[in-house]
Amino acid sequence: MAQPATETEFTLDTAAELAAEESGAVIRGRSPWYLAWRRLRRNFVAFAFLGLFVLIVVACILAPLYAHHVAHSGPSNEHVLDTITVHGTKVDVVSKGGVLGGKLVASTPVGPQWFAAGGKYVLGADQLGRDIAVRLLYGGRTSLFVGIVSSLICVVAATILALLAGFYGGWLDFVITRFFDLFYAFPVILLGIALGAALAINGIHLGPIRANSGNIMIPTLVISYVLIPYVGRPLRGQVLSLRQKEFIEAAVAQGAGPLRIMFTELLPNVASSILVFFTLIVANNIVLEAALSFLGAGVQPPTPSWGTLISDGQGLIVTRPWFAIMPGLAIVLTVLALNVFGDGLRDALDPRAKVKIEH
């Protein structure tokens, strides 16, 4: 006797419902990816936040257009002594300050002009008269680049280590696990500051890996490096579990070599976790980049990033609070978008999985 359907997340994807939807057509085999896609596309919240993320990415990609055609200034062009016309009145981009007429006067950059200055200084200027809106968009390019590239490096390295440790076991597993433990022992931010500050002076010169100080690859590599164990360790657990399954034994019995087993048998089975990890860790890494840059151990000035912009805005938090709030808001929205979409993706790929980044 058929059991009554209960309201669960899996109900929609039961074979019976699929069959009903296809109105009696031949029931075709469905791949797990297809099933995941079906689940994901019904998650409107996840899609809304994916849309938000795409919007932010597109805005940042179009930063040069905005800088050239709207703001008429590059991200690092100073305009300390320039003036702008607001409603017919000339205004200093950075006002005169000091002891004027026997009184202490603050030298303050213009606040948000929205569109009163013909597209210039929509969000105001910083102490060097640079357009904050332009720097916000360019800063987004930097932060997203660091976040995405560092996540890619981290996930690739962590996956390789997890496959090696989980598949071979023994002393190799011991060495890799201790490497993970070693990094677990340090708080991520502390380790990031230590590495970032040390590499800020001389850069990285490790064989083929060469990056001079100030190179954006330094914070990218530091961030990817410190988070490898946080992805590698749970993946290793999954590989260890899969290693005992019958399909692996079958592959071994068929004479498959270690590389083939790792990359054609094990890897596809952890791919969904890797994908979820990736989306979650991009968000995590954007926050980490902002933290390191805020503390001076990440992206080096004058290259803008959301972290350096918050740090710059800190000095003007009383008179020009938007300067610090806007990059903060950009980080919040980006991270929220990625996390909500990542959660949706996780629910779609494997609703029982408990993949999350903890440190």
- Chain contacts with other proteins (rule: CB under 8 A): 7, 9, 43-46, 49, 76-78, 80-81, 94-100, 103-108, 127-128, 197, 200-201, 213-214, 296, 300-303, 314-321, 325, 328, 332, 336, 340, 343-344, 347
As given in the structure block, the two tokens for residue 16 are: 């019976």
Of the CA atoms within 13 Å of residue 325, those in its CB half-sphere come to: 10
First to last CA, the chain: 48
Of the CA atoms within 13 Å of residue 48, those in its CB half-sphere come to: 5
**H/E element, 92:** strand 89-92
Least Å distance, CB 271 to other proteins, is 23
Numbers of helices and strands, H then E, in the chain: 14, 6
Least Å distance, CB 31 to other proteins, is 22
Least Å distance, CB 252 to other proteins, is 39
Least Å distance, CB 25 to other proteins, is 26
Closer Cβ to other proteins, 120 or 243, answer by number: 120
Least Å distance, CB 81 to other proteins, is 5
Closer Cβ to other proteins, 7 or 246, answer by number: 7
Identity of the amino acid at 335: V
Burial of residue 287 (CB within 10 Å: 0-12, 13-18, 19+) is middle
Closer Cβ to other proteins, 9 or 22, answer by number: 9
Closer Cβ to other proteins, 73 or 272, answer by number: 73
Closer Cβ to other proteins, 125 or 235, answer by number: 125
Closer Cβ to other proteins, 29 or 98, answer by number: 98
Q: How far is CA 24 from CA 4, 15, 21, 251, 302, in A?
A: 21, 12, 8, 37, 64
Cβ 106 vs Cβ 319: under 8 Å:
yes
Least Å distance, CB 121 to other proteins, is 16
